[in-house]
Amino acid sequence: MKKVLRSVAILLLLVACNSITKQASKEQKPNIIVILLDDAGYVDFGFMGSKDLETPNIDALAKSGTVFTDAHVSATVCAPSRAGLMTGIYQQRFGFEANGTGDAHSGDLGLADDVTTMAEVLKEGGYTTIALGKWHLGGTPTDHPNQRGFDEFYGFLTGSRSYFPLENPNEYRMLQHNGKRIAFEGYMTDVLGDASVRYVKENKDSPFFMYLAYNAVHTPMHAKEEHLKKYEGHPRKELAAMTWSLDENIGKLQQELQSLGIAENTLIFFLSDNGGAHNNQSSSGPLKGWKGSKFEGGHRIPFVVSWPKKIEGGGMFEGLTSSLDIFATAVAAATIAPEELLQLDGVDLMPFLIGEKTGNPHKQLFWRKLEETAARSGDHKLIRLDDFGHVLYDLNKDLGETRDLSKERPQELNAILQKLESWEHTLLEPLWVEGRDWMDVTYHVHKQLMTNDTIHYKSPSGMKGYLEKQKNDGNN
Ligand code: CA
């Protein structure tokens, strides 16, 4: 009898599941677009308060969704930040801690072969997938986007390149389509924007995942003549012009989604891969530090999630959020249950954006690159510099991170140190490091910022000049 009842129960369960699946399949899966910028400053968009850079289309995108005020990338430089975003887990868990891929330091290493990308999961879930623009997750054949879940790759493998055509680019720098060099004319931001428009036109009838990784506004500070003229006399002329191009192209894509009638059911994430750089005229506003630093200016980023069908426009979200959440949010929105073995560090943000949940998606977040480490727990932020020490800030009262509370709040300090230690136990040793010159520069910047002291150099050439001058002054 028991056996019969169990069979009936299983049958009923199967019927119920079947009807749920049928209902879910009736609902069209959303298109998913990640618009990733490079080295953009925290306040360098209209919607983030910029008064001198014009971004009408990006501001409209922000207004169509929710703007996050406490969102962070998982690294303060390009490559590891992208590794975290693409896998949804802390990149240090698979040894991708340092910047640089396919160079003298990392050699053949890049994205570990045994980690799963969000493109792979979405592709398995029936999405067509494309990566556009900068890759920077490895230069060898096994790291190629076409091997990591992307049906199409229209971009370049390296971390930066000219925005204009190069005569004889190597295989990392060349613009390529699925491995084959593309000769192009014009300006890279336009080329990538045009490709994004082409792709949505061609793929409008089935759900697609587009990873749209502009190299703007990373150096070199190349802009179009007409836009340099437009901003003649502007104190940040090149950045203003590059940002204008970026905005035009993001506008083109939005326009295309609208006219194809698919904007409503397209989920868009918009963010920068790290804070503004010291050499691209960017501004961190009230935040301390910049790209490469464990202060907020290095990892707190402008972040927007837009999905008009589900999320009401004009919203603001203050909970602690990570770029690692993009993977989890995207697969949940696509109604794909990733394998249980895939233990993501990110969480699905949708319940927070539709009011089902409140509070912080994360109780704590961690950052580490070689000699510098940081941890966030509630309002407290810890920064640790190897062989130097640590500082503790209360971001609620001191967003600019100037007042070290480590001696005043020993309990909070110990609690956050313990959490950090537990997290570090889950990590691999970095699989490669960076050049000693850049590591020395980064070390110097952290030491000076932690003690609120003068920064003497921000680049290897600056360091060389400073040390030579010190030597000469000493001799005189
Ligand atoms: Ca970057």
Q: How far apart are CA 432 and CA 277, in angstroms?
A: 23
Q: For residue 255, give both structure tokens.
A: 């326009």
138 C-alpha to center of ligand 1: Å?
A: 15
Q: Is 376 left (phi over 0), alpha (psi -120 to 50) or beta?
A: beta
Instruction: Give the Å distance between the CA of 360 and the centre of ligand 1.
Output: 26
Distance from the alpha carbon of residue 291 to the mean position of ligand 1, in angstroms: 7
Half-sphere exposure at residue 275, Cβ-oriented, CA atoms within 13 angstroms? 22
**How far, in Å, from the CA of 31 to the mean position of ligand 1?**
25
The CA 134 to ligand 1 mean position distance, Å, reads 10
Q: Report the separation in Å between the CA atom of 328 and the middle of ligand 1, taken as the mean of its atom positions.
A: 22
Helix, strand, coil tally for the chain in percent (to 5): 35, 15, 50
Q: How far is the CA of 27 from the centre of ligand 1 (A)?
A: 36
How far apart are the CA of 399 and the centre of ligand 1, in A?
22
Q: For residue 261, how far is its CA from the centre of ligand 1 (angstroms)?
A: 33
Look at the pTM and tell me if it is higher than 0.85.
yes
Phi-psi region of 102 (alpha: psi -120 to 50; beta: other; left: phi over 0): left
Q: How confident is the prediction for the chain on average, in pLDDT?
A: 93
pLDDT in tens, 268-280: 999 999 999 999 9
Report CA(369)–ligand 1 centroid distance (Å).
14
What angle separates helix 56-63 from helix 237-259, to the nearest 10 degrees?
50
Rounded Cα distance, 394 and 433, in Å: 31
Distance from Cα 216 to the centre of ligand 1, integer Å: 9
- What DSSP string describes 436-463? HHHHHHHHHHHHHHHTT-----SSHHHH
The string of DSSP letters for 373-405 reads EEEEETTEEEEEETTTEEEEEETTT-TT-----
Which pair of structure tokens corresponds to residue 362?
Answer: 């994360």
pLDDT at 106: 65
* Distances, alpha carbon 219 to alpha carbons 86, 270, 278, 279, 281, in Å: 23, 20, 10, 8, 10
Q: Find the angle CA(209)-CA(166)-CA(460) to the nearest 5 degrees.
A: 90
Compute the distance from residue 274 Cα to the ligand 1 centre, in Å: 5
Domains of the chain as residue ranges with CATH: 29-353 (3.40.720.10), 364-475 (3.30.1120.10)
Give me ligand 1 centre to Cα 39, in Å: 4
Give distance in angstroms: CA of 15 to centre of ligand 1.
Answer: 49
Q: Which residues neighbour ligand 1 (ion) by CB within 5 Å?
A: 38-39, 78, 273-274
Cα 382 to Cα 27: distance, rounded to the nearest angstrom: 44
Whole-number pLDDT of residue 14: 41
The torsion angle over the Cα atoms of residues 399, 401, 404 and 406, rounded to 10 degrees, is 70
218 C-alpha to ligand 1 centroid (Å): 7
Element (H, E) at 321: strand 321-322
Kindly give the distance from the C-alpha atom of residue 14 to the centroid of ligand 1, in angstroms, as a whole number.
48
Alpha-carbon span 162 to 174, nearest angstrom: 10
What is the separation, in whole angstroms, between the first and last Cα of the chain? 100
Ligand 1 centroid to Cα of residue 272, in Å, is 7
Q: In this predicted structure, what is the pLDDT of residue 109?
A: 78
Instruction: Tell how far the Cα of 75 is from the centroid of ligand 1, in angstroms.
Output: 9
**How does strand 303-306 pair with strand 66-68?**
antiparallel
Q: How far, in Å, is the centroid of ligand 1 from the Cα of 204? A: 30
Ligand 1 center from residue 397 Cα (angstroms): 28
Q: Which residue has the tokens 């954006």?
A: 353
How far does residue 284's CA lie from ligand 1's centre (Å)? 14
Residue that the structure tokens 């912080």 belong to: 360
Residues of the chain with pLDDT under 70: 1-26, 101-108, 339-341
Rounded Cα distance, 221 and 283, in Å:
15
Q: How far is the CA of 219 from the centre of ligand 1 (A)?
A: 10
CA of 347 to the centre of ligand 1 (A): 23
Rounded alpha-carbon distances, angstroms, from residue 161 to 110, 134, 155, 187: 19, 9, 11, 12
**What pLDDT does 27 receive?**
78
Q: What is the whole-number distance in angstroms between the Cα of residue 303 and the centre of ligand 1?
A: 15
Helix axes 188-202, 237-259, angle to 10 degrees: 10
Q: Which of left, alpha, beta for 285 (phi over 0: left; psi -120 to 50: alpha)?
A: left
pLDDT for 104: 59
Q: Is the distance from CB of 82 to CB of 136 less than 8 angstroms?
A: yes
Q: How far is the CA of 101 from the centre of ligand 1 (A)?
A: 13
What's the gap in Å between 296 CA and the centre of ligand 1? 15
Question: What DSSP state is assigned to residue 50?
Answer: -
The answer to whether 308 and 257 have CB atoms below 8 angstroms apart is no
